[in-house]
Each structure stands twice: as C-alpha cells, then as structure tokens.
Amino acid sequence: MTPDATSGTRDQDGSLATPGADSASRAAARPRAPARALDTTAENPWPVRLLSSKIAEYVDRMAPVWVEGQVVQLNRRPGTSMAFLTLRDTDQDMSLPVAAFAQVVDAVATPLAEGAHVVVHAKPVFWARRGSFQLQAQEIRAVGVGELLARIDHLRRILAAEGLFDPDRKVPLPFLPAVVGLVCGRESKAEHDVVVNARARWPQVRFEIREVAVQGSGAVAQVSAAIAELDARTDVDVIVVARGGGAVEDLLPFSNEALVRAAAACRTPLVSAIGHETDAPLLDLVADYRASTPTAAAKRIVPDVGEERARLAQARSRMRQAITGRLAREQAGLDALRSRPVLAAPRTMVDARERDVLAARDRARRALDTLLLRAGGDVGRLSAQVRTLSPASTLERGYAVVQLPGGAVVRSSTEVRTGDDLHIRVAEGTVEAQAR
C-alpha cells in the first residue's frame, strides 16, 4: 500500500516522515534520536515508539526459560484458542502474566486449576503497542505430590544439617501464659478450636489473634509477618500457629523455607498445630512444641483449672495428713517421756541423791569424830610425855640448872672456878651466886 500524506512512513530511527518538501525540511530541522538510552536528554528524548521497539527487541533475544509458580488466576476465553493465567511466586508477592494456547493447557496431565503448582516452559514476550510483558507458554507441567514431598524432604535434610531442628534450640512452654498469640485463618475452625478449648480450661487466658491466609501464594508472607509481629510484643507469652487439615498442596506454605526460618528466629515459645495427626510439615520440626491438632494445642498451652484445683485439694490433703501424722508422732513421744518415773516424779532422783549425800555426810562426820578422838588421845599421851621429860618438870622436883655468865650449863665442878659468878635457875625463879 502506498502511504498518503496523512499516514506517512517511518524512518529507520523511528521518526515519522511525510512525502514532499515540507516533510523533508522538517526532518532536516529535527535532531536525530540518540542511538543509546544513556545519550538521551530532555531536549533530545526518545519517542515512546522507539523505546517500546528497543524493549521488544531486547526481550525477543531472551531464550525460553523454565519457571515455577502457583496458578492464581486462570481465564479461558470462549471462542478463542488462547488461555490466560497468572503465575505467582510461592514465597513472595510477585506474579507474571502467562498466555498459552488451548492445546498447551489441555496437554497438562492433570486438569489445570487455580492453586495448582506448576512449572512452565515459556518465551518472554513484550507487546510494544500496549507496553505489556507476558510469558508465552510452550509447555506446562503440574508438579506432582511425590515431587513436592521429595523437595520437602530435601529441604528438611538441609535445615536439619544447619541445626534448626535440634532439641537444644527448643524452649519450654510457660505453665500459665497470660496472653496467647494465635496465627490462624480467617474465621477458621482452627481458631474456634483453640480459643474455645483454651478458655474452657482456663477462662482468664487472653488471645492476640492474627487472621491471615493459611494457604495459597500469600500464606508464607502473611504467616511469617504475623509471627514476627507477635514475637515483638513483650506481653505475648506463647505463639500458636494453627490450621485445620487439608491436602498436601494446601499445607505446602508450612514447609516453606522462608516460613520455617522465620519460625526458627522467633524468641517466643512457638507451638505448631497444623493439620491432623498424620500431617507433618517442617514447621512442626522447628517449633518448640508440636501439637497434633489445634484442640491438642489448646490443651497444651494452658492448664485445666478443674484439674489444677483438684491437684491443689489433693496436695492440701496430703500436707494436712503429713502434718497431723507428724504432730501425732511427736505427741506420742512426749507422752512416753512424760510417763517415765524421772519425769512423772522429778524429785525421785533428787531425793535419792539427797539421801546419799546425807548418809555420806553422816559417815564423814563419824569418821572425823573418831579421828579427832584418837588424835586427842595421842595428843594427851604426847603431852604427858613432854611434861614428864620437860626441864621445867625436873625443876619442879627440886632440881636446879647452874649456868655460867655466858649461859653455858655447868655439868661438872671442874668447869667452875672460885669466884665465878653463877646463875642458878630453879622451878620458880633464878638465884645469883658466887663460887668459893
């Protein structure tokens, strides 16, 4: 088709050219578009058509890629051979549009539905006219349960090697939490089971409830954020993550690495109550306590007030019996002591000792009297002997003692010379004489 004056043609650089001298003059006056984006300026920018075409050229050079995600929207337009879906990341709130021919969608082994976990082999495409990006699917494969379980088991071994499941990391749950943080689905049966059963056991318990998505693409981010928020609160004593049972695909968020690491970083004691007894997501392994059901979690986090009162009554009864028995034994011991003669008649021992003391005193007195009498007789005899042998006694019998002036006793006449002065001592006085 020959372009007319109104439609014009495009130059190699993307500018619009019209036939005639006027278009030539305008093209000559307009500066040429820069070859690189770095060279653009406010005075010499790229037109939208040029940027769109360059983006389309760049994207078109990209090779087909295998990408994994979850189908959150699926639209098969009637009367067309195309299907459109949105592929969302399983960990983050990011998504990409995907277009696929109907035969590609129909070739999936299991019927494709929203929520399905798939891997897509697609070619990136950029539509320059409307400035939109999408993936053109060439093949779609559903990720089977077996493969999902294998991935979970592989992740379990990796996290176990890092020590995230070690028993030493787990902390004991408080005996009586004042505030319980509860992460659960919106208006879920799990919330009802935890709250009702916990308050039936201990009516004073308070809850901080965070209702979040517990399945689907937003579950990991919302549950992780709720755990972090409750962990930051100083009044929350324990956190419970609860969800009812479901298919393996429904419980995948609770085996997600990001969520498991968020739970491992939680400093507040964490209880995992996911699914039924047979369900075992990785959150169970990293939690401080694993409850088989939300109801079991409620029974674990708070004690039963009836049972505690019964235990208190039983303990009080045992204490009363122990004290009563101890008092009875001590009273019996006191009675036995009081019944002994020494305590029944305390003076009995004193009286016996008194009699012994009096008898000993009498014996001592008699012995002393005997000794004194005997000693007195001996003294009398010795006194008589002394008196008999005493010089004074001899003098009383008429004898005298003659002494020289020097006091020497005259025992022989030869000791005295004529004219010596003599001192004569008789029984009653002394006589002075002179020898002739």
The residue with greater pLDDT, 321 or 81, is 321
Under the banding of pLDDT at 50, 70 and 90, the label for residue 65 is very high
Supply the pLDDT for residue 287.
93
- Using DSSP's 3-state secondary structure scheme, residue 250 falls into coil
pLDDT digits (tens, 9 = 90+) for 162-220: 999 999 999 999 998 999 999 998 888 999 999 999 999 999 999 999 999 888 778 88
Supply the pLDDT for residue 431.
80
Supply the pLDDT for residue 16.
43
Segment 54-69 shows an average pLDDT of 89
Supply the pLDDT for residue 325.
94
Supply the pLDDT for residue 251.
82
Supply the pLDDT for residue 363.
93
Supply the pLDDT for residue 145.
64
pLDDT digits (tens, 9 = 90+) for 85-111: 888 877 677 889 998 888 888 888 778
The residue with greater pLDDT, 317 or 5, is 317
Domains of the chain: 62-143 (2.40.50.140), 149-303 (3.40.50.261), 392-434 (no CATH)
For β-strands 206-211 and 179-184, DSSP reports them as: parallel
Q: How many angstroms separate the CA atoms of 84 and 101, rounded?
A: 9
Question: What token pair was written down for 269?
Answer: 């004691």
The residue with greater pLDDT, 69 or 225, is 225
Is the pLDDT assigned to residue 124 strictly greater than 80?
Answer: yes
Supply the pLDDT for residue 12.
41
Ranking 27-36, 55-64, 258-267, 321-330 by mean pLDDT, the lowest is 27-36
Under the banding of pLDDT at 50, 70 and 90, the label for residue 30 is low
Under the banding of pLDDT at 50, 70 and 90, the label for residue 5 is very low
Q: How many angstroms separate the CA atoms of 190 and 184, rounded?
A: 7
Is the pLDDT assigned to residue 397 strictly greater than 90?
Answer: no
Supply the pLDDT for residue 231.
94
Cα 73 to the chain's mean position, in Å? 46
Q: State how far the alpha carbon of 131 is from the alpha carbons of 48, 49, 52, 59, 82, in Å.
A: 9, 10, 7, 12, 20
Query: Taking the chain, what is the end-to-end CA distance rounded to the nearest angstrom?
Result: 215
- Using DSSP's 3-state secondary structure scheme, residue 209 falls into strand
Residue 134: CB partners within 8 Å, gap ≥ 6?
96, 97, 98, 99, 125, 127
Segment 20-33 shows an average pLDDT of 57
